[in-house]
A and B are shown apart, each in its own frame.
Chain A
Amino acid sequence: NAGVTQTPKFQVLKTGQSMTLQCAQDMNHEYMSWYRQDPGMGLRLIHYSVGAGITDQGEVPNGYNVSRSTTEDFPLRLLSAAPSQTSVYFCASSEEPTGELFFGEGSRLTVL
């Protein structure tokens, strides 16, 4: 079972470059979200979506864009990478009725 698939798993960028982290889920979950994990900070919500065509900002949205054209896919775009965006990124989808999150394996991004 694929679950939530993130690509790439590792990426190194130079300051100012743009890139897209891909996220796909095959569980037909309406809710998807992106978190970033930094040492000592836990997981912080970047953006989330409650269904195709609907997205909203989380706690730390600056510098990131998202779109949700299909139920399955929820890409995260970095428009102009900054060293402060060096982090591990997790995509997740959630299931009724509890809201348990199913996570992808994470993407480690380094911005030089």
Chain B
Amino acid sequence: AQKITQTQPGMFVQEKEAVTLDCTYDTSDPSYGLFWYKQPSSGEMIFLIYQGSYDQQNATEGRYSLNFQKARKSANLVISASQLGDSAMYFCAMREGRQAGTALIFGKGTTLSVSS
């Protein structure tokens, strides 16, 4: 079974609208971390946001917020007020366990296209 599932291969949104990118995860470890990365067409991987499994509040970073629903094992990324520069591939990833030195498991990604 996949550990990280991103069910939306592609999403389309207009500028200034909000968009939600879905991510569900599967783990039996009570301690884990969830990440979102952005990959623009230039290819680099850009860290966006992190949520720990014990964090009480949803993580936010500027226009990015993580809608963390632990019981549903979902960690959706919400981008408010989309911009043309948000057009990119977005990856959800998970670290199982407490230690930072544990591999991240990535989903297959969602391509976001923002139009004017």
B interface, by DSSP: helix, strand, loop or mixed?
Answer: strand
What 1/0 mask marks residues of chain B from 29 to 68 whose CB sits below 8 Å from any chain A CB?
Answer: 0000101010000011101001010000000000000000
B interface residues, how many (CB within 8 angstroms)? 24
Q: Which of B33, B52, B106 contacts A42 (CB 8 A)?
A: B106
Give Cα A105 to B46, complex, Å. Answer: 10
When distances are taken between beta carbons in the complex, the residues of chain A under 8 Å from B105 are 45
Is A26's beta carbon under 8 Å from chain B? no
Please, which residue of chain B has its CB at the minimum distance from the CB of A58?
B103
Min CB gap B38→A, angstroms: 11
Is A97's beta carbon under 8 Å from chain B? yes
Where the two chains meet, the residues of B that have a C-beta atom closer than 8 Å to any C-beta of A are 4, 33, 35, 37, 43-45, 47, 50, 52, 91, 93, 95, 99-109
Where the two chains meet, the residues of A that have a C-beta atom closer than 8 Å to any C-beta of B are 30-31, 33, 35, 40-45, 48, 50-51, 58, 88, 90, 92, 94-103, 105-106
Lowest 3 CB-CB distances: which A-B pairs, in order?
A31-B101, A99-B100, A103-B45
